[in-house]
Amino acid sequence: VPELPDVETFRRDLDAATLRRRIASASVRDPRLLGNVSADTLRRRLRGRRVAATRRHGKHLLVELDRGGCLVLHFGMTGGLRAIAGEDELGAHDRVVLWLAGDGGVAVSSVRLFGEVSLADSAEALIRDRRLGPDALTLDERGLADALRGNRAGIKSALMNQQRIAGIGNVYSDEILFQARLHPAIIAADLSAAERRRLHRAVGAVLRQAIEVRADPARMPPEWITPRRHAGAPCPVCGGEIERRSVGGRSAYFCRRCQKR
Ligand SMILES: [Zn+2]
């Protein structure tokens, strides 16, 4: 489930593969992944364009093109992106491919088609149109306080609301709350100033460390719960049982002893 650290990892790979290179052609192998654009328009708008920059906002990845406009990638539940050398490396779930002038390309995959490939005028236009909140990685303490103010939702739901804070989903909200020692169902607006500070530190620390290990659970610190995200697993801090409970319609994993209400 690509969240901010996964998408940032895709961005870095995309940057390494495509920056300042020219897109020879775009191949749409399954138009069901296309959002606000037809296959014809996408092919026409990308052909011959150079990749001027790559950007990420929350869970959205943007490919800025020379002469303006950008390609927008969103990975839904089961999507990904990887550099490929040629056609023979393509699989059934690769839906859109950017072929680069010279050689190779980048494949955008989606198993269950929940992702999206679209066009936008700019990153700013996308953020405005989708009403996305500030990016979680660059959020300062005040920005976090603004996002939580007056929010009567549980803190886990508040962290996952992309219109309040962009980038955090089900897995990383659990890790952040575990590291901050906060129960997932605490009302967001009820956090004390000290709890908010602790939460802010955990948001930055968890996202940065996850990016460092390319969002690979096998390489995450031993005191994290993400690698042992199943009910009944031992808490890496106190040895108690990790609990699974529905909070705001999503499965929250947490330790009742470490994360008291
Ligand atoms: Zn514990």
Tens digit of each residue's pLDDT (9 = 90 or more) over 169-214? 999 999 999 999 999 999 999 999 999 999 999 999 999 999 999 9
Whether the model clears a pTM of 0.85, i.e. scores above it, the answer is yes
Tens digit of pLDDT for each residue in 153-167?
A: 999 999 999 999 999
User: From ligand 1's centre to the CA of 219, what distance in Å?
Assistant: 20
- Residue range 14-19: mean pLDDT, rounded: 95
Catalytic entry in 11, 49, 59, 164: 59
Residue 258: partners with Cβ closer than 8 Å, 6 or more residues away: 178, 181, 235, 237, 238, 240
Q: How far apart are the first and last CA of the chain?
A: 28
**What is the pLDDT, as a whole number, of residue 248?**
84
**What is the pLDDT, as a whole number, of residue 83?**
95
- Residue range 106-129: mean pLDDT, rounded: 95
pLDDT classification of 1: cutoffs 50, 70, 90: confident
Bridge partners (DSSP) of residue 241 are 234
User: Is-catalytic flag, 260?
Assistant: no
User: From ligand 1's centre to the CA of 179, what distance in Å?
Assistant: 10
Cα distance between residue 151 and residue 239, in whole Å: 33
Please provide residue 51's backbone torsions phi and psi, each rounded to the nearest 5 degrees.
-80, 110
Element (H, E) at 12: helix 4-18
- Residue range 101-125: mean pLDDT, rounded: 95
Q: Identity (one letter) of the amino acid at 222?
A: P
User: Is-catalytic flag, 250?
Assistant: yes
Residues with C-beta atoms within 5 A of ion ligand 1: 235, 237-238, 240, 255, 257-258
User: From ligand 1's centre to the CA of 154, what distance in Å?
Assistant: 20
